Amino acid sequence: MKVLSLKQPWAELILLGKKKIEIRKWNTKFRGEFLIHASKKPDKDAMEKFGFENLPCGFIVGKSNLVGVKKYLDKKEHKKDEDKHLANSSFGNFGFILEDSKRIKPIFAKGNLGFWNFDFKT
């Protein structure tokens, strides 16, 4: 199954339903269900900003459905969706639109860049 690694607290904010768009500097043609991996190292500034102290890192923590990608053409358009992606324009111009995000029992996994494959048998 496809997996996308995100630093905490971004993974947690998706699972809480507060983050509906994941911002990236790259586009993807992938659509469908994927697993959410919380990277080994958190984003310390974002952890403090959103009031988190201790979140699972180095685990697959949830799943979501990528239903589309929005290309942000300028900072004004990016700012308009800030309540959905919670990020600034330095994170990238592509917004992965997410639906049906759910928490799962954590599974230890090493992360990777981009979408990567996870085999449940390992």
pLDDT tens figures, 5-40: 999 999 999 999 999 999 999 999 999 999 999 999
Assess whether pLDDT exceeds 60 at residue 122: no
pLDDT tens, position by position, 54-80: 999 999 999 999 999 999 999 899 999
Average pLDDT (103-107) is 96
Domain boundaries along the sequence of the chain: 2-108
Class of domain 2-108: mainly beta
pLDDT tens, position by position, 77-103: 999 999 999 998 889 999 999 999 999
DSSP E strands in the chain: the ranges are 2-6, 21-24, 32-38, 59-71, 94-108, 115-117
Assess whether pLDDT exceeds 70 at residue 121: no
Residue with tokens 């799943």: 63
pTM for the full predicted model: 0.93
Q: Where are the alpha helices (DSSP H) in the chain?
A: 10-15, 44-49, 75-80, 82-85
